[in-house]
């Protein structure tokens, strides 16, 4: 408790610099000690290659580490340099991304790679492209927000920028007992000013890695007995006040929209029909079976939840002698389905089709 009182003082603008430095350095040493002992070995934390770090950060947006790892390994092995990714077809990138969701990330990744390569001035003597090296240039890439730019700048170049992800919001909210919603404009501003105070400017790489990992592994949403064994509990206002488990606060979630899809699966035994989603809607440029959208009284055996939508799906098999001509569709052989980037829901439907087509 005593540390916490003084911590509050050091975070106030009126506190003495020497007290600030002393308690900051005590806080960092506890946090870093924990990190050295407990952190996971992750390939993108073992490199300073900005391209590889950028790939990992885009893949890990809204994706768990265990799932993202497989995609990261595939991407760096198939496209080891930014030039390789820029030279790929968008369809290939989407195909490799299949199953990860939020496909705009893959499209932006591809677009950004092409922008980096198109910038001919940024080349090493051997002709290789130089990845952007300042926060501002990284932030300007498609698909890169404030968090991702901070993460790449600090992990690749040790630049003094915070990387504030959901884990960091949670840790900061609890350490300082902030009950302002962190996902509002006002809340974001408040949290960013606090994290700027916390940031170890000389060791941003280590600081960001440690506080993110601490949030992911120790200061978790459900705390259990983690506070008792916490190395920084003496600095934690949420712990001292008994409010930690209630934090962080977020703004009320928008209402989820329900949609009902019927997939029409045409087959003559050897072929089927697919179509590419062209509307600026979910799964832009992914392929699926021809789909109609309306709610009926029938049963929809598939449920697929996206961030703001709940999809209910069913399918109807149409066995035909000759494939119909439906505008916007492609006739393909069944075994060619694997060559197209398909939504996860379509893949789930395909899994249940055996013996029915």
Residues that bind ligand SF4 (CB under 6 A): 171, 174-175, 218-219, 223, 226-227, 230, 232-233, 236, 238-239, 244
Q: What CA–CA distance (Å, rounded) separates 219 from 213?
A: 9
**Alpha helices in 177-332, H assignment, sequence order:** 185-198, 204-217, 237-241
- Can you say whether the dihedral through the CA atoms of 166, 27, 198, 31 is positive or negative? negative
Active site residue 228: no
Q: How far is the CB of 241 from ligand SF4 (least distance, A)?
A: 10
Instruction: Give the burial class of 221: count Cβ atoms within 10 A of its Cβ; 0-12 exposed, 13-18 middle, 19 or more buried.
Output: exposed
Q: How far is the CB of 42 from ligand SF4 (least distance, A)?
A: 21
Q: How far is the CB of 120 from ligand SF4 (least distance, A)?
A: 48
61 phi and psi angles, rounded to 5 deg: -65, 125
CB-nearer residue toward ligand SF4: 149 or 175: 175
Spatial strand order of the sheet with 257-267 comes to 291-293, 257-267, 309-319, 302-305
CB-nearer residue toward ligand SF4: 133 or 243: 243
CB-nearer residue toward ligand SF4: 7 or 313: 7
CB-nearer residue toward ligand SF4: 93 or 230: 230
Given 48, 57, 70, 89, the catalytic residue: 57
Give the tokens for residue 82. Answer: 């930014």
**Number of other CB atoms surrounding residue 232 within 10 Å:** 22
Q: How far is the CB of 244 from ligand SF4 (least distance, A)?
A: 4
Q: Which residues are catalytic?
A: 57
């Amino acid at each position: 408790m005593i540390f916490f009182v003084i911590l509050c003082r050091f975070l106030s603008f009126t506190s003495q610099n020497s007290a600030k430095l002393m308690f900051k350095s005590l806080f960092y040493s506890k946090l870093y000690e924990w990190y050295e002992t407990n952190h996971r070995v992750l390939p993108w934390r073992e490199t300073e290659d900005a391209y590889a770090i950028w790939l990992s950060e885009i893949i890990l947006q809204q994706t768990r580490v265990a799932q993202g790892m497989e995609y990261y390994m595939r991407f760096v092995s198939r496209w080891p340099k930014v030039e390789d990714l820029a030279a790929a077809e968008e369809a290939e990138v989407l195909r490799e991304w299949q199953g990860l969701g939020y496909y705009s990330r893959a499209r932006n990744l591809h677009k950004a790679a092409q922008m980096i390569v198109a910038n001919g001035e940024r080349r090493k003597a051997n002709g290789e492209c130089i990845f952007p090296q300042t926060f501002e240039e990284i932030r300007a890439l498609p698909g890169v927000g404030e968090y991702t730019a901070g993460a790449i700048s600090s992990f690749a170049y040790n630049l003094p920028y915070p990387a504030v992800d959901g884990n960091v919001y949670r840790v900061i909210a609890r350490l300082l007992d902030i009950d302002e919603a962190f996902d509002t404009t006002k809340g974001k501003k408040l949290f960013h000013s606090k994290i700027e105070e916390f940031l170890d400017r000389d060791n941003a790489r280590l600081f960001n890695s440690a506080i993110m990992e601490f949030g992911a592994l120790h200061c978790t949403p459900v705390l259990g007995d983690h506070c008792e064994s916490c190395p920084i509990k003496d600095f934690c206002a949420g712990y001292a006040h008994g409010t930690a488990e209630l934090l962080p606060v977020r703004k009320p979630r928008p209402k989820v929209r329900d949609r009902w899809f019927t997939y029409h699966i045409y087959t003559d035994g050897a072929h089927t029909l697919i179509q590419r989603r062209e509307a600026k809607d979910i799964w832009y440029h992914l392929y699926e079976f021809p789909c109609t959208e309306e709610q009926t009284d029938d049963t929809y055996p598939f449920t697929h939840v996206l961030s703001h939508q709940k999809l209910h799906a069913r399918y109807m098999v149409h066995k035909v002698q000759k494939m119909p001509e439906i505008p916007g569709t492609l006739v393909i052989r069944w075994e060619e389905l694997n060559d197209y980037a398909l939504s996860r829901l379509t893949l789930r439907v395909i899994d249940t089709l055996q013996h029915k087509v």
